[in-house]
Chain A
Amino acid sequence: MFVLAFLGKRVLAAAVTLLVTSFLVFSLLAASPGSPEQTLLGARQPTPELIAALRAQHRLDDPFPVRYWHWLSGVLELDFGRSVRSSREVVDILAERLDVTLWLGLYAFVLVLLVAVPAGLSAGIRRDTAWDRGVTVTALLGVSAPPFAVGLMLLSVFGVGLGWFPVFGAGSGFADRISHLTLPAVALAVAGVAIVARQTRAATMDVTAKDFITFAEARGLPRRVVLGRYALRNSALPVITSAGLVLAYSLTGAVLVESTFALPGLGSLLVESVSTKDIPVVQGLALLTAALVIGVNLIVDLCYLGLDPRVRHAGGV
């Protein structure tokens, strides 16, 4: 019951957040400088037919709440309208661009987990050794380096200087794509690795100081078991929290990294659409991003539930 109540509350909160976001996103059109018609016209020739069509399509003659309602019901059927710039369905454009960003994000996320968790764990366990200090300083630099600066450096060293990786495009087919996205994923992952490594280290230090670890070690359990079963599991909560943060961060980072590596993803689409005031595309992107972030936070909450019995039982308190 507690679990269900907890779940229900979270889902409800997520839905409310999404609704509020959608309203703000919808208001972008009305709030952007210039009249809505002007914005929707872009640079198209303002013929009376086109203006009439746009007014009808966006129901500009209806009162604001009515317009919002219609827009929202369209959005629920995945109809975000048409791009001002290319006259294509926004949802088609998003679908086309989503692919690269998903690959990039997942790739970076895998890198983060593969590098950050072992690094943080080992640093936390071997506290105050040279290794620990090394990890700490590297993480510090990583968390502070702007992703576009990292990207440019990787590009010129590994892409051009050494020629190990392709320098533009997203590639097609699994192996090709992996090799194309390696540098961008690394650039994107650097800050994430740093954040998660720091969190993992702190959490591990916290946990290893606890009695049950000392006890486990005293019982003579192999180190691997102690680490895997006790330390890792118990430091998982803060790590998962920061993994959620990393996702939010990746979305921002993707904007910068995709711009640097000229990747046709959602991030570069955002920059292009914002700079050309292609409001329908910006709306679609903003809503998609918000849905992603909210969705992942929900998943993080669920992970809490799965990993930590205390949360499960404290649900009703």
Chain B
Amino acid sequence: MIVRALSAFALGLVVIAALLGDWIAPFDPGAQDLAGTAMPPDAAHWLGTDELGRDVLSRLIAGTRTALLGPALVALGVAVLSTAIGLLAGYRGGWVDSAIMRAVDLVYAIPPLLVAIVVVGVFGGGYPLAIGVLIALSVPADTRMVRSAVLAQRNLAYVEAARTVGLGRGRILFAHLLPNVLPTVVANLLLSFVGALVGLAALAFLGLGVGTGAPDWGRMLAENKGLVDLNPAAMIGPAVLITVVAASVTLLGDRLYDLMSARGRDAGRA
């Protein structure tokens, strides 16, 4: 319970920071002070300064937007695509299903981040390409899960009943099947978010992410790695934030899944 409350609190803070960043940041995240570089935390700079004398806390706050936005894009992209494809495959069955599933099998096992490193490294596409690759390669795994959720539902009495009553295919898909596979989709959505958060941070850590100068958490982690002695907060800050946000979202995902599948069961009974 305490853990859940803490993680909800942490997530709340991060979301507020993303929304109100400009107002609550103590300093301009881009302002440099060459006379005060790599300073450890003090009363003015709670997390100290980086190599160009920029306030680390303000940069972390400014970074919340990219930190949430990129993974959110990936998660949404994955959710929409994998739900659509999974529904189609599971409901239609037949050759559509086998074709989709063969394609899914093909990419299923390939680690997305590894491919992203190669593709972004070789083509130099930066952040947008990284997001694209992560979406493309995360879709198959989720498609599989959605499909099996649909398969589990397809032959249940209520779908059968809906079909007998003569409801249209679209109606059955969206009004009946979708709500019932939603717990899976939501849980996956949040898991994709976490995967993308850590993945994009890893790419930025390897120098393959957002552009120079942007206050990105992964970038800060890599760039401030050298400050581990002078101002460790500059490196530990982003590392802790990434870990905490990822853990909180995972926890939220678990909880949401429990709640929704419970409601789904109740709805099914009624």
Contact = CB atoms under 8 A, between A and B. Distances in A.
Is chain B in direct contact with chain A in the complex (CB below 8 A)?
yes
A250 B213 CA distance: 31
B152 to A, nearest CB: 16
A152 B205 contact: no
B114 A146 contact: no
Given A140-B251, A286-B118, A248 B123 contact: no
Interface stretch (A79-87, A96-104, A251-259): A251-259
Interface string A141-153: 1011111110011
Interface in B3-25: 3
B205 A146 contact: yes
Contact of B109 (A33, A147, A244): A244
Interface residues of B, number: 35
Interface stretch (A54-62, A106-114, A225-233, A288-296): A288-296
A145 B243 contact: yes
B105 interface: yes
Interface in A269-293: 270-271, 274-275, 277, 279, 282, 286, 289-290, 293
B259 interface: no
Contact of A149 (B122, B123, B239, B251): B239
Name the prevailing secondary structure of the A interface residues: helix
Contacts of B221: 146, 148-149
A152 B235 contact: yes
Sorting the interface of chain A by its residue count into under 10, 10 to 19, 20 to 34 or 35 or more gives 35 or more
Given A137-B3, A146-B243, A28 B122 contact: yes
B80 interface: no
Interface string A46-75: 000000000000000000000000000000
A130 interface: no
Interface string A31-51: 111000000000000000000
A282 B111 contact: no
A129 interface: no
A144 B198 contact: yes
Given A259-B206, A275-B121, A289 B243 contact: no
Given A13-B105, A148-B205, A255-B113, 18 more contacts: A17-B105, A31-B123, A32-B122, A141-B247, A143-B194, A143-B250, A144-B247, A145-B239, A146-B242, A147-B202, A149-B221, A149-B243, A152-B239, A252-B111, A252-B113, A277-B122, A279-B122, A294-B109
